[in-house]
Structure formats: structure tokens, C-alpha cells
Amino acid sequence: MQKGNKHTKETKEKMREAALKRCNRNRIASLPRGEKHHGWSKEPNILTLHKRIHRKHGAAKEYKCDCGKQARDWALIDKEYTDDVNDYTPMCRSCHVKKDKNWIKK
């Protein structure tokens, strides 16, 4: 339970207006994103790449693997590493591991 004096309606309104100024959604929405952002990298690290894939396609668990099981991972379609988010496909863990093992053997 709150002790002491309670805020008046006028004070609450001032606090609300100040909070809205601090958290301006329109300003945040207008900030540069993607390749226009000053921190964009053409060679992202693995964490950044996963974030880009998730932002573009959503979670892998929202998809089915080609074998029919629930997908768990975003797997690279080709053997060569790429930062193109469209070069990844959702796969279940077993198919992903099998695919990676086949690449290692070759």
C-alpha cells in the first residue's frame, strides 16, 4: 500500500504527457532500418543474421519441415555461407543435422 500523499489528477496528467514525449512511437518508427541504418553490416555475425532471419520470416517453429515434422531451426539451403535471409529454410532438428553431416562428408 502506498504511503504518503497521492498524486493529483493534474500531476498524473503531466506525468503521462512527459512519458509520451519520452516514448514517441512515431519518432522510433521513422528511424532508419535495414541497409539504411548506420550500423548495417554486409557481413553480419551469426547472432545478427539470426535476428534478421527471424525478423523477416518469423520463428522456425511456425513452419513445417519438408519431412512433415515441426521445424526448429533455420538451415542454410546451399553449402556456401550467405547473409541473404532468403537462402535459409525451416527444418526439423534431425533433417538439419543430417544435411550438415552430408556436407561434412563431401
At residue 105, the pLDDT reads 61
- Where along the chain do its domains lie? 9-105
pTM above 0.75, yes or no: no
Confidence of residue 2 (pLDDT cuts 50, 70, 90): low
At residue 106, the pLDDT reads 54
Tell whether the model's pLDDT for residue 49 goes beyond 90.
no
Q: How far apart are CA 69 and CA 75, in angstroms?
A: 15
Confidence of residue 11 (pLDDT cuts 50, 70, 90): very high
